[in-house]
Amino acid sequence: MLSDFEQEELSSRLHVTAEALGHEIKSSLVMLMVDDLGDYPYDEICKALVRVRKEHAGKLTLKAIIDRMQKPDTRPAANEAWALSLPAQDESNTVVWTDEMSQAWAVALPVLESGDKVGARMAFIQTYERLVAVAEAENKSPCWRVSQGWDTEKRVQAITTAQNAGLLPAPIANKYLPSPNVNNVQPSKNGQTRVHSYVSALLADIQQSREQRIREHQKRLAREQSKRQERLKLFEQQRKTLETCFNSER
């Protein structure tokens, strides 16, 4: 939201811009435009007004300003976001995701843990698309965050991949990397290309580790089966002991 000072300054700039375009604008209309622009960053509005004065022919309109506003960086599509979030099942994995992905995952995880992967995916996509629609309506840029796993090697791989895709600036990435000497990679100017690059790289990493996760799951099942057999043996021994005691008392 714009501060009171920013609203006053914006009102003045709107009047001046209208005059630069060769017409006057009513104060009541300026108030409405200030209110409609309230969710946009003040600096971006000012930059857009500069472009309006340079490029626009005709009367000052809200559309002329918004059309020249810098658009938020692109978010992953719903299916891509689901694929990027799946590694969060394993606490050893580090996941780099947006706020919308994190919130959608929180909704989908209980469904996934119940064994319904199809239902979990549907819950994730529905929640994610709703959250993204709200964020875009409010002109919010995607905020990429790190959900840190305990495996150091996987963490370095995930952070490096995200940094190379331009999703994490070096100062943030360095907090999660063992070495402070991390290459300072410039983000791509094209948000969609940047996201797709990250998705492709991370999906390749997921594919490589899939067999390892399957083996770990099989080992875990084997351990659980072994523990169940041990408990059954112990129970049988206790039963025989009680039976012997009972027979001796008789």
19-46 pLDDT tens trace: 999 999 999 999 999 999 988 888 889 9
87 shares its domain with 28: no
Q: Confidence band (pLDDT; 50, 70, 90) for 182?
A: very low
Residue 114 CB neighbour total at 10 angstroms: 10
Residue 14 has pLDDT above 60, yes or no: yes
Question: According to the model, what pLDDT value does residue 1 have?
Answer: 73
Tell me, yes or no, whether 87 and 158 share the same domain. yes
pLDDT at 185: 46
- Mark whether 45 and 137 lie in a shared domain: no
Residues 27 and 49 in one domain: yes
Examine the domain organization and report whether 148 and 191 are in the same domain. yes
pLDDT value for 187: 47
Dist. CA 238–CA 250, nearest whole Å: 19
The answer on 50 and 168 residing in a single domain is no
| Lowest-confidence region among 109-113, 154-158, 163-167, 201-205 | 201-205
Ranking 82-96, 103-117, 119-133, 164-178 by mean pLDDT, the lowest is: 164-178
**203 pLDDT higher than 70:** no
Mean pLDDT of the chain: 84
pLDDT of residue 190: 53
- With respect to residue 12, please indicate whether it lies within any of the assigned structural domains: yes
Residue 172: which pLDDT band, with cuts at 50, 70 and 90? confident
Q: Are 166 and 187 in contact (CB under 8 A)?
A: yes
What percentage of residues in the chain have a pLDDT greater than 70? 84
Domain end among 66, 90, 120: 66
Quick one: tokens of 161? 């991949």
In the Cβ-directed half-sphere of 145, how many Cα atoms lie within 13 Å? 8
Cross-strand bridge partners of residue 145 = 97
Statement to judge: residues 141 and 173 lie in one domain = yes
What range does the domain containing 13 cover? 4-66
Answer yes or no: do 13 and 85 share one domain.
no
Answer whether residue 231 is part of any domain: no
Flag whether 164 is in a domain.
yes
Nearest C-alpha neighbor of 72 from the set 155, 143, 145, 175? 143
Average pLDDT over residues 234-240: 82
Report, as an integer, the average pLDDT of 39-68: 90
85 and 167 together in one domain: yes
pLDDT of residue 200: 66
Question: Are residue 104 and residue 203 in the same domain, yes or no?
Answer: yes
Instruction: Tell me: pLDDT of 231 over 80.
Output: yes
Q: Which residues contact 45 (CB under 8 A, 6 or more apart)?
A: 10, 37, 65, 69
**Looking at the 3D structure of the chain, how many domains does it have?**
2
Taken in order 87, 92, 94, 98, is the CA torsion positive or negative?
positive
Residue 243 maps to a domain:
no
Establish if 36 belongs to a structural domain.
yes
How far, in Å, CA of 110 to CA of 92, rounded?
19
